Structure 1
Amino acid sequence: MSLGSIGQAVGLFAVTNVDDIVILALFFAQGTGHRSTTRNITLGQYLGFAGILAAAGAAAFGATFLPDAVIPYLGLLPLALGVRAAVQAWRERGHDDGEAPQSRPVRILELATVTFANGGDNIGVYVPVFATAGAGGMTVYAVVFLALVAVWVAAGRYFATRPVIARALSRWGHILLPVVLIGIGLLILVEGGAFGR
């Protein structure tokens, strides 16, 4: 592994995943008070990102599991999860039992789905990079990316536990999470050309 290729991998990961920190912070806020939160978020993030790497790696070697025309419709996944979260927040409005309305266990597959769908555009970026890097270079990228997933999870947890941010997420997280998920879903659909160009 050369330092140059590691640096390129770090830069590529950071540029294509900066929005994930916000999503992770929202999920950490949602799971406040549940012991399994960090574990579930970590597993969900790794599972979703492994799916992104597998799809990009396979496409780089000529095998595609998803036709290009299907990728924009991955936006339906976070859109549906966002609508579900919005309905749940609406049903829980006015509850004053001492527990924040957004506090519930984070589901591994839910986070994995959001990670994979949000990374649909990442696949398009990673494919040409992986194809030109070859098997050895692709391994470097995969190792660096997977190491940085842990850094991203830690950053999301860090931001969610800062007093000012934690108070804001505690107060508004149950509204922000559906808005962010719906926004991501619509952005993927629109930018992917699901509604025509």
Structure 2
Amino acid sequence: MQFGPTLGTACSTFAITNIDDLFVLATFFAEAASSPTSSLSPLKITLGQYIGFTAIVAISMLGYGLSFALPSEPIGFLGLLPILLGVWKLLDLLFDGEDEEEEGKMRGLKNVLKVSAITVMNGGDNIGVYVPLFSQAKGAEIAVYVAVYYILLGVWCFAAWLIMGQKHVLKLAERYMAWVIPFLYTGLGVYIIVKSRAFPWAVRKIDGRFLGNPGKVIMGTVTAGTVCTIIGVMLWLKMRKRAQRMRESASVEVEEVRRSRKSR
């Protein structure tokens, strides 16, 4: 194991997958500080974050378990998950209103559920990255990943507590980082696939079974077709949701017009 690159991978993957959590944590700390009647406290927020993150790591360890049952090369194709997560987040930005709607749901839940539940609910991106990453871990790399994650989680909580009073800085960073995050996820997915050598492995397997060495053509066609199909489904879901939201908005406006006419 090369400690330097492993440490760098652990730090970068944690930062990429937890940038949005930093803003959620800052909101929690701001609420705890601004409302004397709030049941939230810095200690409860930190403990809840660690409990929720432990659940995320436990689920992600499935990827590490897969590495014992399957060769590491084909598992590397799970690197497509972070790439698709990046595309999904980019579509969120292009279709205005999706993120705000989800954040509204989170704001409504945070006063009812514990911070740990919010952490797990917001951890789908983490799992999508950690599963393929853990599946490629060799030897003590998995221990380094987990140890660094838990250390950085404490740093994350402290950083959120520090910046929760700088609301203008927080809003500015949140606005611009939203456009950076999709590309970070995409780059991370490419890194996982390249590191695992999944495509060369698949090409060799195909070339060994067919004449003419069609591995590159087959893999290129299958990969492009699969990715385009999934992106098409994502785009269809976003467009469908936007159309539904527009219909609901139109029906509300019609109802308001009817009420105003009746009141006259």
Distance change in 2, residues 1:115/1:35 (3 Å): closer
Give, as a single letter, the amino acid of the residue that structure 1 aligns with 2:141: G
Deviations 1:111-164 (A, max 9, x none): 111111111121111111101113521111000000000111011100113486
Q: Residue in 1 aligned with 2:25?
A: 24
Give yes or no for the alignment of 1:124 onto 2:128.
yes
Q: What does 1:128-143 correspond to in 2, within 5 Å?
A: 128-134=132-138, 136-143=140-147
Give yes or no for the alignment of 1:8 onto 2:9.
yes
Q: CA deviation at 1:36?
A: 6.3
Preserved CA contact (<8 Å) 2:64 2:137: no
Secondary structure of 1:61's aligned partner: helix
d(CA) in 2 for partners of 1:38, 1:131: 34
Q: Residue in 1 aligned with 2:162?
A: 158
Q: Residue in 1 aligned with 2:115?
A: 111
d(CA) in 1 for partners of 2:104, 2:63: 25
Give, as a single letter, the amino acid of the residue that structure 2 aligns with 1:18: I
Determine what percentage of the aligned residue pairs are the same residue: 32
Preserved CA contact (<8 Å) 1:78 1:114: no
Deviations 1:17-60 (A, max 9, x none): 11111101100011115796111111011011111111001343
Secondary structure of 2:114's aligned partner: helix
Q: CA deviation at 1:78?
A: 7.5
Within the candidate set 88, 99, 108, 1:83 is matched to 108
TM-score if structure 1 supplies the norm length?
0.59
d(CA) in 1 for partners of 2:162, 2:130: 28
Which 5+ residue runs of structure 1 have no aligned equivalent?
Answer: 69-76, 86-105, 169-190
Preserved CA contact (<8 Å) 1:51 1:116: yes
Q: CA deviation at 1:165?
A: 6.5
Give, as a single letter, the amino acid of the residue that structure 2 aligns with 1:125: V
Give, as a single letter, the amino acid of the residue that structure 2 aligns with 1:39: L
d(CA) in 2 for partners of 1:52, 1:3: 25
Preserved CA contact (<8 Å) 1:78 1:113: no
Q: Residue in 2 aligned with 1:71?
A: none
d(CA) in 2 for partners of 1:150, 1:62: 29
Within the candidate set 22, 32, 43, 1:39 is matched to 43
d(CA) in 2 for partners of 1:19, 1:134: 29
d(CA) in 2 for partners of 1:17, 1:81: 16
* Cα RMSD for the two superposed structures: 3.7
Q: Residue in 1 aligned with 2:62?
A: 58
Distance change in 2, residues 1:123/1:163 (3 Å): closer
d(CA) in 2 for partners of 1:35, 1:118: 21
Which 5+ residue runs of structure 2 have no aligned equivalent?
Answer: 68-80, 82-101, 172-230, 239-264
Give, as a single letter, the amino acid of the residue that structure 2 aligns with 1:17: N
Give, as a single letter, the amino acid of the residue that structure 2 aligns with 1:8: T
d(CA) in 2 for partners of 1:154, 1:84: 23
